[in-house]
């Protein structure tokens, strides 16, 4: 047991004792009240020490593991793929998972699976993510025994943003009930190209303008915040004007992209509503790279110009937009150097499943050989832990 885990256990026990002592009636033994206050104060000091996300004091291998969110095969704790990802989480080779259709069969099954995965990490909460936008992108639907969530364009056509809050409250409540704490949604893209096959034609966006989109993504995020679920705005800097689908190739938005596509991100950042932001595999000639791999886009534009302080996560690095040109190792190193704090590896788009151990080792080697600066890992780790602190605080 590490000193951080020990301190946290002491914190829990002291907090429990202090609560018990605080119930002693006033006048019977006044000293108990003072003792309770002292214990509670001591517990706060210990919890601060135990939970501090100071990357400077954490071993490199532990920090790197927190940067990886991975998909896996299987739906039961006894399935080999589930056992493997559980070991990766327990050993610190991953800090989170993403669930797809193949992982979700029924409410009872999902709850059992998420409990098993959540129990893998000895201390920090496991990020248990899925894509639940509603409509065409829906992991928890009627087909597997859950509530059906409508798509973004349908919601925007049929109800005002104030009413949408109730719609997304149902969604978020169901996610929380089934052990999911991270929803890779909402889509903040604008419907600028009617020929766009991945965003526009599929009903995944709330509208054509920032004024149309912002109220709905606000309602989406607020409903999830109320349920204790972290949300992810996507696909930065804007996928709505593209023609190509980044699942199958690299979209070039050099001529079609407009600056006002940043407005939904700017609004959510300024209003302290943005938990996480996902970078898209979207090529811009001025960057010379996809946004997800570009330091100009991630660090320069998103973090410095827009002032985003939370964690940034890549879209799946196994999408053809990236995998056609780069190996997973190359893409991961480039993504981290660009300023992404988490790298997403879905393990559904590639025939060969990524070895998390090899990916983890490759990132560590890149740090040790100077290809990734250590401060970049520490900065990413601290952003992630600050977010996980919120999950831990809600849990306890």
Question: What separation in angstroms does the CA of 152 have from each of 108, 189, 237?
Answer: 27, 11, 19
List the structure tokens of 53: 């996300």
- Verify whether residue 396 is a known catalytic residue: no
Which 3 state secondary structure label does DSSP give 342?
strand
Catalytic residue among 131, 263, 275, 315: 315
Give, in degrees to the nearest 5, the angle at Cα 118 between 341 and 105.
105
Which 3 state secondary structure label does DSSP give 86?
helix
Which 3 state secondary structure label does DSSP give 34?
helix
Cα–Cα dist 360/286, whole Å:
31
Cα–Cα dist 116/242, whole Å:
40
Cα–Cα dist 120/141, whole Å:
27
Cα–Cα dist 241/246, whole Å:
13
Cα–Cα dist 206/189, whole Å:
8
List the structure tokens of 11: 């914190």
Question: What are residue 251's phi and psi, to 5 degrees?
Answer: -70, 135
Which 3 state secondary structure label does DSSP give 68?
strand
Cα–Cα dist 343/275, whole Å:
16
Cα–Cα dist 240/206, whole Å:
11
Catalytic residue among 79, 101, 247, 252: 247
- Verify whether residue 247 is a known catalytic residue: yes
Q: What is the DSSP string of 209-243?
A: SHHHHHHHHHHHHHHHHHTT-EEEEEEET--TT-S
Active site residues: 247, 315
């Amino acid at each position: 047991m590490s000193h951080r885990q020990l301190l946290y256990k002491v914190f829990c026990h002291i907090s429990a004792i202090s609560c018990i002592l605080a119930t002693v009636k006033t006048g019977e033994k006044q000293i108990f009240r003072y003792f309770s206050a002292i214990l509670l104060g001591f517990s706060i000091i210990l919890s601060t020490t135990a939970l501090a996300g100071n990357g400077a004091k954490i071993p490199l291998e532990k920090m790197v593991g927190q940067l990886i969110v991975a998909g896996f095969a299987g739906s039961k704790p006894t399935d080999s793929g589930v056992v493997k990802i559980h070991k990766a989480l327990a050993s610190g080779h991953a800090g989170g998972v993403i669930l797809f259709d193949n992982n979700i069969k029924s409410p009872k099954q999902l709850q059992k699976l998420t409990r098993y995965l959540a129990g893998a990490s000895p201390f920090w909460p496991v990020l248990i993510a899925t894509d639940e936008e509603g409509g065409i992108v829906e992991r928890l639907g009627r087909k597997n025994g859950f509530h059906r969530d409508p798509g973004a364009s349908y919601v925007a056509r049929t109800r005002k943003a104030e009413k949408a809050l109730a719609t997304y409250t149902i969604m978020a409540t169901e996610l929380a009930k089934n052990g999911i704490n991270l929803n890779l949604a909402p889509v903040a893209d604008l419907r600028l190209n009617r020929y766009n096959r991945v965003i526009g034609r599929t009903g995944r966006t709330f509208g054509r303008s920032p004024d149309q989109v912002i109220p709905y993504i606000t309602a989406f995020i607020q409903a999830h915040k109320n349920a204790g679920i972290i949300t992810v705005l996507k696909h930065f800097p804007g996928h709505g004007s593209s023609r190509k689908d980044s699942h199958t190739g690299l979209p070039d938005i050099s001529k079609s992209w407009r600056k006002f596509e940043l407005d939904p991100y700017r609004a959510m950042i300024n209003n302290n509503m943005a938990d996480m932001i996902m970078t898209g595999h979207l090529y811009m000639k001025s960057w010379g790279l996809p946004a997800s791999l570009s330091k100009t886009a991630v660090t320069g534009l998103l973090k410095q110009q827009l002032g985003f302080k939370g964690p940034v996560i890549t879209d799946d690095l196994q999408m053809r937009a990236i995998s056609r040109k780069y190996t997973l190792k190359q893409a991961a190193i480039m993504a981290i150097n660009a300023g992404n704090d988490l790298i997403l590896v879905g393990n559904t788009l590639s025939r060969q499943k990524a070895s998390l151990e090899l990916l983890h080792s490759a990132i560590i080697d890149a740090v040790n050989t100077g290809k990734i600066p250590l401060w970049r890992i520490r900065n990413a780790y601290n952003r992630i832990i600050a977010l996980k602190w919120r999950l831990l605080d809600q849990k306890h």
